[in-house]
Structure 1
Amino acid sequence: MRALIAAGIGLAAALALVLAVTAIGAPPGETSEKPLHTTVPAHP
């Protein structure tokens, strides 16, 4: 029974966190037009 209560509390906390982040919204910012270039190290 305790496990069910703990799982319910955890689920409610996670849902509250998701709703809070959704309500606040994404931080303002810009995306770059340039793609990110990565290099793969060459093997000798």
Structure 2
Amino acid sequence: MRAFAAAAIGLTAAVALVLTVTAIGPPQDGTSPEPLLTTVPGPKK
């Protein structure tokens, strides 16, 4: 029964977080035109 209650509380918190983020909307500043580096750049040749 405790596991069921913990799962219900976690699910409720997750749904509340999703609804909050949805209500706030996307950031107003937009995104950066610079690409993110996904690897460490190697030496330039």
TM-score (norm 1): 0.67
CA 1:26–1:40 in 2, change beyond 3 Å: closer, same or farther? same
Corresponding position: 1:14 with 2:14: yes
Aligned identity (percent) is: 52
CA 1:37–1:7 in 2, change beyond 3 Å: closer, same or farther? closer
What runs of 5+ residues in structure 2 fail to find an aligned partner? none
Count of residues paired in the alignment: 40
TM-score (norm 2): 0.66
- Aligned structure 1 segments of 4 or more residues deviating by more than 3 angstroms: 37-40
Q: Deviations over 1:5-43 (max 9, x none)?
A: 1101100111001001100111112332xx62757314x
CA 1:27–1:8 in 2, change beyond 3 Å: closer, same or farther? same
Task: Please give the alpha-carbon distance, in whole angstroms, between the structure 1 residues aligned to 2:36 and 2:12.
Answer: 41
